[in-house]
Amino acid sequence: MKAVSLSRYLIEEQRAKGKIPADLRLLIEVVARACKSISSAISKGALGGVLGNVGTINVQGEAQKKLDVLSNEILLEANEWGGHLAAIASEEMDDPHPIPHRYPKGEYLLVFDPLDGSSNIDVNVAVGTIFSVLRCPEGVTEPEPEHFLQPGVRQVAAGYCIYGPSTILVLTVGDGTVMFTLDRDLGSFVLTQDSVRIPEDTAEFAINASNARHWDAPVKRYVDECLAGKTGVRGKDFNMRWVASMVADVHRILTRGGIFMYPIDAKCRDKGGRLRLMYEANPMALIIEQAGGAAHTGYERILDVQPLGLHQRISVILGSKHEVERVALYHREPQ
């Protein structure tokens, strides 16, 4: 069977289903090329002099790694000149990045976390890039932060690239979730899994157990039931997994099922949660839902949340549909 490249897949989606306008196709290809450059830099590790901190703090209040800054620069430089974008927003920057006036502008807004899980870089654990594409509101030529504040259901595309033993691009354009693996000999992403489906039931959960003392009652109830195993109300044993890289944890769920939880708790309640709605929760929620899973805050569907700020944080519970629904049910029941 002939290998299907990312470009061919996007063109066929454009021709056969009309799902992807030509400029959106080209935008996704540009993002994918940027991810290849980031993958190359990460693979060199200490040999490339890219490990360690740069001594600065980003808008999230986090120490910036050298690869955080480099990945952000790669994505900005790759995307600002193509003519497909009206503006760019990055988790690493306070405000949106305008398209320089010397370049043509397009009708899309690109949102990204240039390097998710960067605390794992120095210990050689998988990290990734997460991105989301929105339409720029009609008539807006100089987008401001408020023009990015669209609920996740209005995303026209979302994806992530995981830099692990192999580099894999996961993508949805609203027509299912697909995976591409970077063939370094060919220099291109090749389709390796079409129509990804997440099992509705699972025996794995992912959560940062060190925060157990801060959890709200519904989350504590769910985890306690999982830990009770066959002797508890669930009547089966569960395994716990936690990578501390959202991309890696979500990729495992897409591959074999599971539930990922970074819920709001007493430790992060004043911030609204731990993960960013625009850069992490929304794109991952679209990818998960398009693969048959569910994504929730505990109180509402993530994709229905109306963003109030560019760097807004939120509670995230996503993965196998029946498990997410169980956690949401516990949040609805009187405590």
Give the residue ranges of the annotated binding site for Mg(2+).
Answer: 91, 113, 115-116, 280
Q: Write down the H helix ranges in 45-191.
A: 66-79, 145-148
Please give the annotated binding residues for substrate, written as ranges.
116-119, 208
Task: Find, among 155, 186, 175, 173, the residue nearest to 36 by Cα.
Answer: 186
Interacting residues of 247 by C-beta distance below 8 A, sequence separation 6+: 116, 117, 126, 127, 128, 129, 130, 160, 162
Interacting residues of 268 by C-beta distance below 8 A, sequence separation 6+: 214, 274, 313
Residue 195, sorted as left (phi over 0), alpha (psi -120 to 50) or beta, turns out to be left
Please give the annotated binding residues, written as ranges.
91, 113, 115-119, 208, 280
| CA dist list (Å): 191 to 4, 8, 14, 67, 244 | 5, 9, 16, 27, 27
Task: Find, among 59, 60, 37, the residue nearest to 50 by Cα.
Answer: 37
Instruction: Using the structure block, give the residue that is written with the tokens 């430089």.
Output: 77
- Beta bridge partners, 163, equal 127, 167
